[in-house]
Amino acid sequence: MFAGGVQHDGRVIVVDVPACRRWIALALSRLEATSGLIDALNVFPVPDGDTGTNLLLTLRRAAEEVRVAQATVAGLTRALADGALLGARGNSGIITAQMLAGCAEVFGSAPGGVVDGRVLAGALTRADELAWSAVELPVEGTVLSVTRAVAQALEPESLGQAVGTPEDALAVVRHASQVARQALAATTEQLPALREADVVDAGAAGFVLLLDALTEALSGVSAGALPGVDDADVGNCGASVSFAPHATVGPAYEVMFMLPEVGDAQALDDPIAWLRRELAGVGDSVVVAGLRPVHAHVHTDDPSAALRVARRFGAPADVRVVHLATGTARPVPLAPGGATDGEVAPVGCVAWASGPGLAGVIAAAGATPVVSSAAKRISTEEMVEAILGTGATEVAVLPNDADSLPVVRAAAARVAGSGVRARVVETFSEVQGLAAVAVFDPMLDPDELVAGMSAAAAGTRHGSVAVARRAASTPGGRCRPGDALGLVGGEIVHVGADVVEMAAVVLADLMATGEPELVTLVLGSAAPAGMVERVREVAGPAEIEVVAGGQQTYVVLLGVE
């Protein structure tokens, strides 16, 4: 047996404090060594936030919390989960934080604090449940497929037959790791983008890495190469697959809301189950996750009915209603808030900015710009600090990036306990964010303000031009490193040779639905001469607003209103 392992009652290995510390150190070390390879598993050829980098930054922040945590397995894993949530960047960071929270929850309730194999199996099962709950529309072929395969393999009815000694934590994690590696390899055939690139899912690879690190922490033996990562030449291809967009068949609206505090709900024994049943009565695609706060999601033809259900619990916050066919927001009148003794309390606003010029425009509008320390995507902690830094009790929050939306929602949930209501305005690009801050008025009623900012963002079509970092197959055709990529609504639809001409092509696409009144042009740090003039030729009589954004990833951002 590994000399550093610990036996419980002289028979089985358990996860104790030294093993837990080894696990965290090994996971961080392995991720530092492989984050670049995991980044390379990204068919999206624009380096706007790679999975490996996001996971590494998330785990580094988690490790900081562990250093000052209580020296118990429960204390270490709780600190790990809390730190991961603070450091989470993008979908991959949020899902990882959710999985670690599931482990911490089960470890914290282990009888006598002993984390044996059965407790570990329960923790990985709970991790799977929370990972799935974090995603509104789960897709097979992602990390969720791998976590579910592991959870099914660890069901109590079959665990003894599968591992022989289900109380042995090493036996359990070895079995989990083997199942996860098989499920990771299977992701290649589960998604067309992965199959075409002949690679595995990046987020799933990160999850397998965590299991491998725990196996090594308990056994002292390296798990070996990570399938599809260490043992393959990923070159310039790979994949990190986003979750599918909302379907347009079925109910007309998507309703999402948060309940910071769940009341007694008519003294029901299980108010969460009751909320799920009631929402199912007014729509479908129901997801209810968490306890304090509760996050809820439903597709329905009657958004008001869903909100009436919510109000039976208390005051819903962060309400978002989206028309599924068009993706546009529908303003929702809620009870006025933020006022005390007849006075109107100023509303704060924070927004992510990827460049100094963009940050300057946001600040000039009276909002607080947040520039990520990683120069790419924002972390939960950075957004929490910015929200609390406004000093306001009502704050509008703009992610300005689709993949950062779950991070911003997590930040909003975290500040709720501080007496601050953070209202997320769904801005999927920075030009949508500029449109939203243009109507920011801190003295408006918070609900009226958020509705107006949401409408301004939803009314802005957005596109961009970038330079391909790697070869990839895209909806716009095959690209090679150095090609100009034209994106509309976040999707690559054109591939060409010249970034200036690509800006003209993208703008023409954005204008296809009608003549715009305003065209916003945000120039990146590498924008070449002549781009503004070429865009003016295409824009016609529309007013053009030029911003020296200074962003690095995108040569130019375009918005049409």
Contact 55, 38 (CB under 8 A): yes
* Per-residue pLDDT at 192: 81
Nearest to 316 by CA among 240, 259, 243: 259
Q: What is the DSSP string of 305-359?
A: HHHHHHHTTS--EEEEEEETTT--B--------SEETTEEPPPEEEEE-SSHHHH
- The tokens for 71 are 């020296």
Q: Both tokens of residue 106?
A: 């089960």
Beta strand 554-560 pairing with 461-467 = antiparallel
For residue 471, the model assigns a pLDDT of 85
- Look at residue 257 in the predicted model and tell me its pLDDT: 77
The pLDDT tens digits along the chain (561 residues) read 343 344 544 567 899 999 999 999 999 999 988 888 888 787 666 766 578 888 998 999 999 998 888 889 999 999 999 999 888 888 888 899 999 999 999 999 999 889 999 999 999 999 999 999 887 678 888 899 999 999 999 998 888 888 888 899 999 999 999 999 999 999 888 888 788 778 888 888 999 999 999 999 999 888 777 777 755 444 434 334 333 333 334 676 677 777 766 555 444 567 777 788 888 888 887 777 666 677 777 887 766 577 677 767 766 666 666 655 444 444 343 333 333 334 446 889 999 998 888 888 888 888 888 887 555 778 898 899 889 888 889 999 999 998 889 899 999 999 988 889 999 999 999 999 999 999 998 888 898 899 999 999 999 999 999 999 888 888 888 889 999 999 999 899 999 999 999 999 999 999 988 788 899 999 998 899 889 999 999 988 889 999 988 888 899 999 998
Convert 70-86 into a string of H (helix), E (strand) and C (coil): CCCHHHHHHHHHHHHHH
- DSSP letter at 113? G
Cβ neighbours for 483, distance < 8 A, ≥ 6 positions apart: 467, 468, 495, 496, 497
Question: 50-72: string of b/e by CB count within 10 Å (b at 16+)?
Answer: bbbbbbbbbbebbbebbeebeee
Which pLDDT value is given to residue 235?
43
How many other β-carbons are positioned within 10 Å of the β-carbon of residue 206? 31
Classify 164 as helix, strand or coil: coil
Burial class of 489 by CB neighbour count within 10 A (0 to 12, 13 to 18, 19+):
middle
